[in-house]
Amino acid sequence: MEKTYSNRVESVNPYSGSGSKREEIEQMFNNISPRYDLLNSLLSIGIDKVWRNKLSALVDLKHPRHILDVATGTAELALTLARDTEAKIKGVDISAGMIEIGRKKVLQRKLHNRIDLIEADSLQLPFEDSTFDAVTVAFGVRNFASLEKGITEMLRVLKPGHSLFVLEFSNTKGTWINPLFTFYFRFILPAIGRLISKDKSAYEYLPNSVAAFPTGKEFCELLLFCGASSVKMRKLTAGIVTIYSAEKKSV
C-alpha cells in the first residue's frame, strides 16, 4: 500500500524541471502567492469559505486549546479557526511567500497573540511529540512529497486521543456532478488560473494532483495504515470535497 500511494502522488509535480516535488511545490506557491486568495475565491465562487467554515465547526466541537494548521498557506483556515475557537494556533508552510501574506492578514486582524505562522516542511514538523489538541490541513495533503510521511508526522505531534482533520478535493466519478466538475476543473479553471496568476503550470497541476490523490475509502484506509483510528469522512457539495477526521490512538 505504502509504495503504491507514494509512487502515485510523488510522480505529479507542478513543473517538469529537475527539482524534487518539495522544491517545485515551494516554487509554485511562491510564484502564485500574490494572487492566491483572489483565485481561491474566484475559482470556487466563494464556496471555499463554506468548506473551511464546516471544518472549523467540527474542530470547535473538540474544544482544542492548541491547534496546528499544516500547509497553512495564507492563513485562511487559521483565521477561521481563531474566529470559531479559543485556541492558540500554529501554522506551518514551506512557502515563504504564502507565510508573508498570512502574517500580514494576522496582524491586520490583530490576532498575532493567538496565531503564529512558521516556515517549515510538513514532513519534518519542528514540534515535540504529542504537542497539539488538534491538527488541521486544508487542500494541502495532495502537495506532500510523501503522503505516508506527512500523515505520520501530523499524528506524531498530535496528542493521543485527539483528532486530525483533513479537507481535500475528492474524486466525483459516478456522481451527477462529475461531467460538469470535470469539464470545469480540466479546462475552465486552468485557463482562468493561468491568466490571473501568470503561472502556466500551477493550475494545470491542481486537477492532475487531485486525479492522483487517493480519495474516499482509499484515503480512509491510508489513515488507518499510518496508525490513525476512528476514521470518518463527510462529503460536501455533491462530493466535490471531503472532510476526513481521525484520532491518534491512545497509549
- pTM of this structure: 0.94
Mean local confidence (pLDDT), 20-32: 92
Other Cβ atoms less than 10 A from the Cβ of 176: the count is 10
Q: What is the pLDDT of residue 121?
A: 96
Section 48-68 average pLDDT: 97
Q: Is the pLDDT of residue 170 over 60?
A: yes
Answer whether residue 3 shows pLDDT above 50.
no
Average pLDDT (222-239) is: 96
Residue 42 pLDDT > 50: yes
Residue ranges of domains in the chain, CATH in brackets: 2-248 (3.40.50.150)
Per-residue pLDDT for 99 more than 90?
A: yes
pLDDT per residue as tens digits for the range 101-120: 999 999 999 999 999 999 99
pLDDT for position 18: 65
Residue 11, classified by CB atoms within 10 Å of its CB into exposed (0-12), middle (13-18) or buried (19+), is: exposed
User: Residue 62: is its pLDDT beyond 90?
Assistant: yes
**pLDDT mean over 52-59:** 98
Longest dimension (CA), the chain: 51
Q: Is residue 66 classed exposed, middle or buried when 0-12, 13-18 and 19+ CB atoms within 10 A define those classes?
A: middle
Asked whether the predicted pLDDT for residue 16 surpasses 90, the reply is no
**Which range, 32-41, 64-73, 189-198, 205-214, has the best average confidence (pLDDT)?**
64-73
Average pLDDT score over residue span 169-191: 88
Least Cα distance to 77 among 23, 134, 15, 35 occurs for 134
Q: Are 165 and 71 in contact (CB under 8 A)?
A: no
Residue 115 exposure: Cα atoms within 13 Å on the Cβ side: 29
pLDDT band at 2 (very low <50, low <70, confident <90, very high): very low
Instruction: Share the mean pLDDT of the chain.
Output: 92
pLDDT at residue 104, rounded to an integer = 98
pLDDT at res. 171? 85
With 60 as the cut, is the pLDDT of residue 6 above it? no
7, pLDDT greater than 60? no
What is residue 55's predicted lDDT score, i.e. its pLDDT?
Answer: 98
Pick the range with the lowest mean pLDDT from 78-87, 184-193, 214-223: 184-193
